Structures are given as structure tokens and as C-alpha cells.
Structure 1
Amino acid sequence: MPPWYAAATALGVLWSILVWGEPRASLVIVATALLVLSVVMSVVLLVPINNRVAAWAGGGAPDDWQDQVGKWDRYHYARVGVLVGAFVLLVVALA
């Protein structure tokens, strides 16, 4: 998944440069910022939980495993919402 995030962000930056000064530039810039936010959310919120879950395989799950899985789900849904918002803005900018 990281290559897709990097590619989408790079294309957003390129598109922002190409439409600079046009009315739709603000939509593309905000969408690109949302793509960056989704990457930050992945690294800061989801990866640490994934690392903890990976460690469970050897030592068994902790007592609060359901809370941790629920937290991961909530963060994931928020990240998906950010990504959907970004791509909606890009579609609007394209139209």
C-alpha cells in the first residue's frame, strides 16, 4: 500500500503545480494535503497497533486486545474517510 500512497501524493503535487493559479488549484491542493494526512495517520496511528498485534503471535494476546483492535478499526475508518474525501475533491477538480 505505501507505493500507492506515495504515487497518489506525488501525482497530487504534480497536478497542483500544473493547475497553479486556476480556480481548481485549491481543490487539488487540499486533496493532496488530505493524502499526506492519510499517510501520517497510517504511520502514527495504525503502524504502532499493527506492530503490537504482530508481537501477539509469539506471546498470546493481551487482555485488552479487543480494545486495541477496535481502536485500529476506528482509525482505519477515519483514514478511509480522509482518502475518500481526497479523491472526491480530485474528481470535482477534474470535472
Structure 2
Amino acid sequence: MFNALEVFTTVVVGVMVGVEFSVLFIMNRILNALPEDSAQLGHAHGGRMLGTLMPFWYIGSCVLVAVWTITGWHHHGAGLALTAGALLILSVIMSLLLLVPINNRNRTWTPETRPADWKEQLDRWQRYHYVRVAVIIAAFTLLVAALV
């Protein structure tokens, strides 16, 4: 049962990393290549869609890693899982303090209501997202290492 928890947690976190990696390196580049109004509307829609889903995924990942760490404290790799959990908590804190405020503004913008600096705000979100993706990749790497 514990092995199933380890594998399930690693897969959940790995898929989350894949989604965030895709947003960073694929989706944002596709959206930014669209004409201005379409790009902004696409970012707003993505912000609404992923802004609804990702909090559950991030918190769920933290809970799964916490359960792994607690139930497997005397197993090999518990320290790695604990460190991965700390990094996931850091990613949630970063999200709440840095990314969510920008996303909450972005998700309501339309071509008529967006601020003049909307591109700069999205660029700032992207820079923060680079760091967050690096943090969750590190967490995922630690979870994989804890499995072996």
C-alpha cells in the first residue's frame, strides 16, 4: 500500500510539473504569437481555467507528500520526500504572494478593460512562473529519487 502511495504521489506531482512546464514553454509562446486582442483574451481564459484547477492540484500534491512523509518516516527516502514537500509548500506560498494576484487581475481583463501595462504584468507573472516551475521540478526530482 505504501508503494502505491509513493507512485501515485509521484505521478500526480509529475503531471502537475508537466502542465506547468507546458504553460511556461509552450502555451504562453503560442498565446503571445497571436494578434494582441486574441493573445490577451487567451491569457485571460487560461487564467480562469487553470486558476480554478491548479489550487486543488497544488494543495492536493502537498497533502499527498505529507501523507507519504508521515506514513513512511522510517522508510528509505523519507528525508527526500520531506524536502520535496517543503519545496511544494514554497511553490504554494510563491503562488499566493506573487502569481495569484496578477492572475486574478488578468482573468477579468478584456480588450476594453485591460490596463495599459497588461503586457508588463504578464511578463512579471511569467518571470515568477519560471522560478515556480524550477521549484516544483526540484520537488518532483526529489520524489523520484526517494523512490529508488
Instruction: Give the equivalent residue in structure 2 for 1:90.
Output: 143
Work out the CA distance in 2 between the residues paired with 1:55 and 1:10: 30
**1:1-95 correspondence to structure 2 within 5 Å:** 1-22=54-75, 24-57=77-110, 59-95=112-148
Q: Which has the higher contact order (CA 8 A, sep 6+)?
A: 1
Q: Normalized against structure 1, the TM-score is what?
A: 0.86
Q: Normalized against structure 2, the TM-score is what?
A: 0.58
Work out the CA distance in 1 between the residues paired with 2:62 and 2:113: 37
Work out the CA distance in 2 between the residues paired with 1:94 and 1:54: 38
Q: CA deviation at 1:60?
A: 2.7
Q: What SS is found at the alignment partner of 1:57?
A: coil
Work out the CA distance in 1 between the residues paired with 2:136 and 2:98: 15
Work out the CA distance in 2 between the residues paired with 1:12 and 1:90: 9
After TM superposition, where is structure 1 displaced by more than 3 Å over at least 4 residues in a row?
none
Q: Is there any run of 5+ residues in structure 1 with no aligned partner, and where?
A: none
Percent identity, aligned pairs only, is 49
Moved more, 64-73 or 18-27: 18-27
- The count of corresponding residues between Structure 1 and Structure 2 is 95
Q: What SS is found at the alignment partner of 2:110?
A: helix
Give the partner amino acid of 1:46: L
Q: CA deviation at 1:64?
A: 2.0
Give the partner amino acid of 2:129: H
Q: Is there any run of 5+ residues in structure 2 with no aligned partner, and where?
A: 1-53
Give the partner amino acid of 1:66: K
Work out the CA distance in 2 between the residues paired with 1:55 and 1:11: 32
